Amino acid sequence: MILFFNRAQTEAVPYRPIDKSTSPQDSPSRLHPNSSHWYNPPMPKRERVYKAEGVVLRRQDLGEADRLTTIYTRNLGKLRLVAKGVRKPRSRKAGHLEPFTRVALMMAKGRNLDLITQAEAIETFPDIRSDLMKLGHASYLIELLDRFTVEEGQGNLALYNLLLNSLNRLSTGSFGASGIILYFELRLLELLGYRPELSNCVGCGAEIQPQSQYFSSHEGGVLCPKCGRSRREARQISLPALKLLRHYQRSDFETAMTPRVSEEVQREIENTMQAYITYLLERRLNTPEFIRRIRNFETPDEGNSSR
């Protein structure tokens, strides 16, 4: 049910700037983005209330008793929603909106942000909450997903499933956390269009030979020794570390987990991934914010899309 915050819809009904030459039947209240009429158009009933399933990423206190809750949903991607009265002692929603909780939601269109009217936990991952290490690892996954995604009204089912599967794997503890995290990082990057190139040199295109190489965060992949030596920002990567990254990249989760990894290679991979992710996040900061601002400017209230 992709009805709200939908880019396709907002494009279909573009925001028309105030035009002084507008014909009289277009009253100013229909056109002026600051008029309450514009913000609160009469809407068909089925669109005022909608359902979604999602995982709570984070929350933040709002006013006296409310909370702003960020949820990654199955069908609508990331949403920021207001949970009214959730900090009151007798709130029925409170326990269902804790971070990591998989929750079924009922929402209502709000003036600016939509409101959570009902919340029912589906999975709470108690094993993650009771174990500080698991909690730390799960928090990292959540933060990574949060920082790499923007609210755009479109779900990414593969990414949602990756999140849920990874939380489940951390929760049961049947696999090592470092493997779960590396698998999550590589899949997330792939699903969002940042798959590191590991087979051919990103400098000259030559096929990578079985020897130590370089990795360039700037260029998004591995560099042959010849190209790598000429790039100051490139970092060395050993053959075992590169082999393991490639194995993860082309395997399903269970297959990816099979090789035993030395602590040294593990450390090397973690450092390489952190450098790449940090580089991407720093570079990303401006663009999504810029796009979001433009989109907000063009569609002062997403509710208009129904008109």
**Which residues of the shown chain bind Zn ion in the complex (CB under 5 A)?**
201, 203-204, 224, 227
Give the residue with the Cβ less far from Zn ion, 133 or 204. 204
303 neighbors 276 (Cβ within 8 angstroms): no
Integer Cα distance of 283 and 263 in angstroms: 30
Please report how close the Cβ of residue 135 comes to Zn ion at its closest, in angstroms.
42
71 neighbors 57 (Cβ within 8 angstroms): yes
Q: Give CA angle at 162 (160, 164), nearest 5°.
A: 70
Please report how close the Cβ of residue 226 comes to Zn ion at its closest, in angstroms.
5
Integer Cα distance of 223 and 148 in angstroms: 25
The dihedral over CA atoms of 229, 234, 236, 237, expressed in degrees to the nearest 10, equals -130
Give the residue with the Cβ less far from Zn ion, 167 or 227. 227
Give the residue with the Cβ less far from Zn ion, 87 or 246. 246
Indicate the DSSP class of residue 19: -
Please report how close the Cβ of residue 147 comes to Zn ion at its closest, in angstroms.
31
Please report how close the Cβ of residue 278 comes to Zn ion at its closest, in angstroms.
24
270 neighbors 177 (Cβ within 8 angstroms): no
Give the residue with the Cβ less far from Zn ion, 159 or 227. 227
Give the residue with the Cβ less far from Zn ion, 112 or 209. 209
Please report how close the Cβ of residue 244 comes to Zn ion at its closest, in angstroms.
21
**Alpha helix (H) residue ranges in 223-300:** 225-229, 239-250, 253-256, 263-284, 286-298
- What the block records as the tokens of 141 is 């996954």
Sheet with 213-216, edge to edge strand ranges:
221-223, 213-216, 235-237
Please report how close the Cβ of residue 185 comes to Zn ion at its closest, in angstroms.
25
Give the residue with the Cβ less far from Zn ion, 156 or 213. 213
